[in-house]
Amino acid sequence: MSTEAVKRKSRKIVDLLIWIIGLVIVAGGLIVVGIHFYVSNSKPTIEGEVIVSILDDDVMVTRDGTGVPHIEANSDADLYRAQGYVQAQDRLFQMDLARRQASGTLAEVVGESAVESDKFFRTFSLRNAAEKSWEGYNENSKQILQWYAEGVNAFINEVKGTSKLSYEFKLLGYEPEEWTPIDSLTIGKYMAYDLGGNWSLQAFNHWALQNFTEEQVKELIINYPEDAKTIIEANLENPIEVAGAFNTDLLPNEFNGSNNWVVSGERTESGKPLLADDPHLGLGTPSIWYQMHLQSPEQNVSGVIFPGVPGIILGHNEKIAWGVTNVGPDVQDLYIETPNPDNPTQFKYDGKWEQAEVRKEPIKIKGGKTIDYEVVVTRHGPVISDFVFEEEQPTAVFSMQWTALESTQELQAVIGYNKASNWEEFEKALEDFKAPAQNFVFASTDGTIAYKANGNIPIRKAGDGQFPVPGDSSEYGWEGYIPYEELPTVINPEEGYIVTANNKIIGDEYPYHITNYWAPPYRYERIVEMIESVKKGQTDEDGEVIEGLTVGDMQGMQSDKKNLQAEEFLPHILTSIKKMDSEGKYEDIVKLLEEWELFDNKDEGAPLVFNLLMTEIQDTLFEDAMPEDVYEMMPGKFQITDQLLRDAYAGNEGVWVSEAGGVDELVYHSFETTIAEITKKYGAKVSKWTWGSYNKLTFDHPLSGVSEYLATYLNPEKLSVGGSKVTVQAASEDGEGNVNHGASWRFVADLSDLSSAYHMVAPGQSGHVKSKWYDNQISNWVYGRYHETNIDGDLNTKYELQLKAE
């Protein structure tokens, strides 16, 4: 073949390859366009008219410029129906996933990978507790739950079997089932699980007694009960498997907390109270909260609610505003149960064998066979440790008693206080809010500020909720709850403010036990410091009279990043480093820390060193001493670490610090490890280090773990952010720098004008990836920006959707 022929053939081959590549690109482009078109087609209708046949009358839904739906109805019946319909428009997949996780039915749509989760939540009996609670609701509340369910189902029926059904259902290959009132109550029980529990603390302490010396255990128990000899002996004599027995991925986040505070008119520029709230929960896409404004002739209320639930749980109406933080009381107890060797569903109690309830809980699996599963329930509660007797029958198991497994009517409280106009009406409504226990702060237009730690908090016959107790004796157990009128309450305090940040809320004189595991006081103390720094009526440095606190001040406080943990420990840590680093190897890093003004700002390097160092000290002390899952269960790790350091620097080195070589060796070794890791990741140039290069605000979608493509498509971009787990702007990261826990909602209300309030709900209002409100509030989270939501009809941007009654 001639040279020219070879060239011609080569050109033809190249042309063919170009054509094939072009075809692939075009086909790929068409696929991408098709996917985008398909996904976009399921965006909710937000303008025009839609027939919703269940309505008695027409309802107007107006979405403002941030996607907040303002629902105006002529009756409460239509208001709650429309609320269900609108929530389903924006969040139906999230709602369905939430009810399935809490009910233990994820495997039906996900497959084998969800079986362990389903077993866990079937055992924890959230749906069973919701069914019990339904019976205790009054007829009005039952009717509201039913109206809400009618609205959700109206939307499901409208989109089911069409391309308008949210794309996530198509990805998983199923359609949503009918919504029921029990689904809403089950989601409420899940929030009680997420916010109120200490069973894992007791399981860890049980394990620690078996594996550590008495001296070691005492240092791990925040308030070691010297008079609990009988309970400790019962734990030692009845070892129950803890390591490898529980899925720690399903445990609530250790840092589920919040900030809230209220200041009286004596301290504000307007002369009326200001209220601020920012609950700290898991950060994901979509948000755990859904913001709404509900208006009928009977109410005008605005704020946030969990998708899948009616009403407004946090927010304000025309007369009052309120917010919550988690009390974190000990509301779960583990019992060491003794099974009958001849019948493992019977358990010893006061010398007799009692038959337990055995609940059949078959678990359906997508693409697989249904698993026969049973939940065994003793007089105290469900058996939560391994209940497998195929080879060897255990001599003891754990059962769990929990306030949320009883019949409780939180939604009844929400419905009641949504319509309250003063503290008396609000407090009366709170009587039904029993699980989870919450610190409510309150303000009203009449100038009242108030606080109540609300919920069922058990009174124990013996023990203080730190260790499992014998289940075979009537000498243990609960004898009721702290009386409602004796729960911690404050009304119009002399200092003119009330602050809670999961800190200790009671004095030593309080007659009842609540918990020993309060959050460290860093956030609380910083909030108080900022409030008290504004002296209304005094003159500032420029000779100007201070007018008092403003909305802007409250918003600024919610984004405050001062690290009071560093204020306490950094001087001691620097002393240890200098003592051990006699050659000045780390002189530049020491200087960086010495010059730090103690704010965890994203553009500074010192927060990177300090925060990673504190975690490394904790890991150095404990991580190698126990199995990985037990370490995950360990309660209050960083509080315990702080106390061990505090004691050591005061001259009282304990056994854990001593075994690490003493406080100076512990700190210096951890410091060297920390610096080596930072250098490996960010280079040796200290001036280039920043906290924000590691600390990234993260909002992952629940389906993003399926593939990298879905993660890229569904997860909003990660942004550098300041703050840490100890600052008022809570930004707790997962150990890999992913800030996936913090302020899930920020809220400020000025009681001088409740026609509006200020909000931030990140990543955004919509659960639909193609909506402009999907992730539009993430930068607001980072930079402390808010949107103002009106309840008087004055909306600047309007997307009007009329829900037409047939």
Residues forming the active site:
258
Strand partners, 747: 277, 759
The amino acid that residue 263 corresponds to is: V
Q: Is 333 annotated as a binding residue?
A: yes
Chain center to CA of 779: 20
CA nearest 252: which of 180, 309, 319, 328?
328
Closest alpha carbon to 785 in 615, 520, 572, 551: 551
Residues near 518 by beta carbon (within 8 Å), at least 6 away in sequence: 328, 502, 503, 504, 505
Question: How far is residue 258's CA from residue 392's CA, in Å, rounded to a whole number?
Answer: 45
CA dist., res. 675 & res. 609, Å (int) = 7
Residue 620, classified by CB atoms within 10 Å of its CB into exposed (0-12), middle (13-18) or buried (19+), is: buried
Cβ-contact 68, 291 below 8 angstroms:
yes
Distance between CA 666 and CA 613 in Å, rounded? 11
Element (H, E) at 6: helix 3-41
Q: Which of 282, 218, 287, 346 is nearest to 644 (CA)?
A: 218
Which residue's entry shows tokens 């529990």?
A: 197
Query: The tokens of 404 are what?
Result: 């949320």
CA nearest to 377, candidates 404, 398, 353, 408 = 398
DSSP state of 697: E
Choose among 413, 236, 318: nearest CA to 791.
318
Return the H-helix or E-strand segment holding 742. Answer: strand 738-743
Give dist(CA 183, CA 148) in Å, integer: 11
330 marked as part of a ligand binding site? yes
Written as one string, the DSSP assignment of 29-90 is HHHHHHHHHHHHHTSPP-SEEEE-TT-SS-EEEEE-TT--EEEE-SSHHHHHHHHHHHHHHH
Separation of first and last alpha carbons in the chain: 81
Contact 658, 664 (CB under 8 A): no
277-297: burial string, b at 16+ Cβ within 10 Å, e else: bbbbbbbbbbbbbbbbbbbbe
Separation in Å, CA 798 to CA 68, 70, 714, 790: 10, 10, 27, 12
Give the DSSP letter string of 118-176: HHHHHHHTHHHHHHHHHHHS-HHHHHHHHHHHHHHHHHHHHHTTSTTS-HHHHHHT--P
Q: Do 468 and 437 form a contact (C-beta atoms < 8 A)?
A: no
Phi-psi region of 151 (alpha: psi -120 to 50; beta: other; left: phi over 0): alpha
Q: Which residue positions form the known binding site for Ca(2+)?
A: 330, 333
Q: Which residue positions form the known binding site?
A: 330, 333
